[in-house]
Amino acid sequence: MSAPAEPTLGQLFQAGRFQEVLDRAAAHGRPERLSAPVLNLLAIAAIRLGQDDLAESYLRTAIAQHPQQPDAYSNLGNLHRNRGQTAAAEAAYRRAIELHPQHPDALTNLGVTLLNAGRIDEAASFCRRATECAPTHANAWNNLAAVLLEQRDYVAAEHAASQAISANPRLLDALSNLAAALKNQGRFADARAACQRALALDPAHVGALNNLGNAFQQEGAFAQAEAVFRAGLARDPEHVEMRWNHALSLLALGDYAAAWPRYEIRYSPKRKERHAVPPPFATRQWQGESLQGQTLLIWPEQGFGDQIQCIRFAPLLKSHCGAARIVVRCKPALAALMASQPAVDDVVTSDEAPPRHDCWTFPFSIAGHLGVTLENLPAELPYLFASAARIAHWQPRLPARPPRCLRVGLVWKGSSLHRNDAQRSLPGLAALAPLWSLPDIRFVSLQKGQGEDEAQSPPPGQALLHLGSEIHDFADSAAIVAQFDLVICVDTAIAHLAGALGKPCWVLLPAIGSDWRWLTARDDSPWYPGVLRLFRQAADEDWSAVIARVTLALKSLNRCD
């Protein structure tokens, strides 16, 4: 009986016996004598074993011996990308594509490299070319799905991920990307099902766990989301996006003691989308130590509403931490308003020449360092104030108000750049039409940016004074709001402004993606007690049902009845 044939290099490779592949090659002598396909196979085996230098040696040999061979350049690009050498990876992939314009691996991997570099549109172009060249290439479709998710084209991302799964039903990243695309379309049950398919194949797949938690979180099921994120972090404690999402769930559940330390991940340089960026100078970041006799600079983060919400902490920085001076850095639109907080000593709007200070902090970091919980949340209102001069300036512009009637401010849209704007903004001013069925209410628009055009030409039967286009900054807004009886708005900075001024404000909250600061299952806010009222959209409701409840509440408030 003859001895069984010795397995070929290819058979050893397919069996995952990578060290034997390398040993066999070493026994055959000089690599210069090997063919380009064999050198490429050896390089991939070395990469799989973490022997990057050996892999590069094989690839350089292949390129020297066969300079027109695109696979070697493509694999060299993979090696550079794994090392974080973005420019070198891009150059290698582009050389492979120059030699073979329809090389699917080089096309899709160049797309991923450009995606990671933030060059989204270029990445999309190369990923699409890869799918056109190889319509059954699962990784090409999956990489295109990842790019489309970044472009927020969720329907196209769903299609791309589905194509990847059709080509390879066990491609876990494609199932995870499909879940993300479905979740962002509001199809949460389908998203959870896609995650469960991935987790059935690999219970420890952190991408699927993160997307599963995200689906729960977007639905407002924060307890379920928190449990999923906790399970995912047990498997990968350094997963930065999961850490961020876990912090958001804890905040929404009101577990501030656990949440604040985790919320610091928002400004980690490892995050693709940082929610705060440290100042460009070298003073130390405050970590909660005594500030006795020192000047603290509060450095801005996130949106206008976040700064308005957190400036309430300024008095405690003096009374509890001993700060001698508080300096606030903000955009010009907030400067005059921030200066109205009595504990603020100075406001600056440029970081080119920072004021003298001993240390700096982000606004929300103050809450963690002060140990803020729902039980000790500083909520004395008002803590910001409208200027008497500005009130006098705006008073003649406001509508005359007969005795015992209401002035009501309206904001029905937020910034179109907000990730959840499609959910939190109303479709238009017409959605609020039922409010005009009530007698003797004077409505004033504070709308700026998105929605200004319809505020200037409101629908028939919706008489409206539009002041938003004339407002220069938040101090102007404060002077106007101070003369209202009520503000009705979606979740924008105006809600925080009204609350900080101690003015009644009704906030319309979406069923999908409601912000953590409004907590869950309550119609009031501990951040603005006694003045903010929350009108929550249920999962099975459109905005008309919410507006009907607002109209009924306004009818009971209307003192003209």
Please write the tens of the pLDDT for every residue from 161-217: 999 999 999 999 999 999 999 998 889 999 999 999 999 999 989 999 999 999 999
CA end-to-end distance (rounded Å), the chain: 106
Residue 4's pLDDT is what? 60
What stretch(es) of the chain map to CATH 1.25.40.10?
Answer: 1-96, 102-168, 175-268
Please name the residues in contact with 230: beta carbons below 8 A apart, sequence gap of 6 or more: 246
Question: What mean pLDDT is predicted for residues 258-275?
Answer: 91
Residue 23's pLDDT is what? 78
- Please state, in angstroms and rounded to a whole number, the distance separating the CA atoms of residues 392 and 508: 30
pLDDT tens digits along 526-556: 999 999 999 999 988 999 999 999 999 999 8
Q: Which two tokens stand for residue 184?
A: 């962002």
- Please state, in angstroms and rounded to a whole number, the distance separating the CA atoms of residues 255 and 260: 9
The Cβ of residue 121 has, within 10 Å, a number of other Cβ atoms equal to 10
Q: Which of these, 423, 291, 297, 276, lies nearest to 370 by C-alpha position?
A: 291
Q: Where are the beta strands (DSSP E) in 383-492?
A: 406-411, 441-445, 465-466, 486-490
- Please state, in angstroms and rounded to a whole number, the distance separating the CA atoms of residues 133 and 443: 58
Q: In the block, which residue shows the tokens 């108000």?
A: 401
How long is the chain?
A: 561
Question: What mean pLDDT is predicted for residues 93-106?
Answer: 93
- Please state, in angstroms and rounded to a whole number, the distance separating the CA atoms of residues 495 and 305: 8
- Please state, in angstroms and rounded to a whole number, the distance separating the CA atoms of residues 281 and 524: 40
Q: In the block, which residue shows the tokens 């509890």?
A: 320
11 pLDDT band (50/70/90 cuts)? confident
Q: Is residue 405 a contact partner of residue 486, using CB atoms and an 8 Å limit?
A: no
∠ CA 310-370-373, nearest 5°, is 80
pLDDT tens digits along 496-519: 999 999 999 999 999 988 999 999
Class of the domain covering 388-557: alpha beta
- Please state, in angstroms and rounded to a whole number, the distance separating the CA atoms of residues 169 and 158: 15
Crossing angle (nearest 10°) for helices 52-65 and 70-82:
160
Q: Which two tokens stand for residue 111?
A: 């797309």
54 pLDDT band (50/70/90 cuts)? confident
Is the domain covering 284-369 a CATH 3.40.50.2000 domain? yes
CATH value of 1-96 in 1.10.150.130, 1.25.40.10, 3.40.50.720, 3.90.1150.10: 1.25.40.10
Cis peptide before 315 (omega within 30 of 0): no
Higher pLDDT, 23 or 529: 529
Q: Is residue 413 a contact partner of residue 426, using CB atoms and an 8 Å limit?
A: yes
What is the residue-averaged pLDDT of the chain? 91
pTM (2 d.p.): 0.84
5 pLDDT band (50/70/90 cuts)? low
Is the domain covering 102-168 a CATH 1.25.40.10 domain? yes
CATH value of 175-268 in 1.25.40.10, 3.40.50.150, 1.20.950.20, 3.40.1010.10: 1.25.40.10
What stretch(es) of the chain map to CATH 3.40.50.2000?
Answer: 284-369, 388-557
pLDDT tens digits along 379-408: 999 999 999 999 999 999 998 877 778 999
Question: What mean pLDDT is predicted for residues 27-47?
Answer: 74
The Cβ of residue 561 has, within 10 Å, a number of other Cβ atoms equal to 10
Q: Where are the alpha helices (DSSP H) in 343-489?
A: 363-369, 388-394, 421-424, 452-456, 474-481
Residue 1's pLDDT is what? 46
Residue 374's pLDDT is what? 96
Amino acid symbol at 255: D
Q: Which two tokens stand for residue 153?
A: 């084209």
The Cβ of residue 358 has, within 10 Å, a number of other Cβ atoms equal to 16
Residue 31's pLDDT is what? 65
- Please state, in angstroms and rounded to a whole number, the distance separating the CA atoms of residues 226 and 232: 10
Q: Is residue 403 a contact partner of residue 356, using CB atoms and an 8 Å limit?
A: no
Q: In the predicted model, is pLDDT for residue 265 greater than 80?
A: yes
Higher pLDDT, 482 or 30: 482
Residue 32's pLDDT is what? 66
42 pLDDT band (50/70/90 cuts)? confident
Q: In the block, which residue shows the tokens 């080119």?
A: 352
Higher pLDDT, 281 or 359: 359
Question: What mean pLDDT is predicted for residues 105-133?
Answer: 93
Q: In the predicted model, is pLDDT for residue 345 greater than 50?
A: yes
Q: Is residue 156 a contact partner of residue 187, using CB atoms and an 8 Å limit?
A: no
Q: In the predicted model, is pLDDT for residue 35 greater than 80?
A: no
Q: Where are the beta strands (DSSP E) in 235-365?
A: 284-285, 295-298, 325-329, 346-348, 359-361
- Please state, in angstroms and rounded to a whole number, the distance separating the CA atoms of residues 58 and 78: 14
Q: In the predicted model, is pLDDT for residue 561 greater than 70?
A: no
Please name the residues in contact with 71: beta carbons below 8 A apart, sequence gap of 6 or more: 36, 37, 40, 62, 96, 103, 105
Amino acid symbol at 304: F
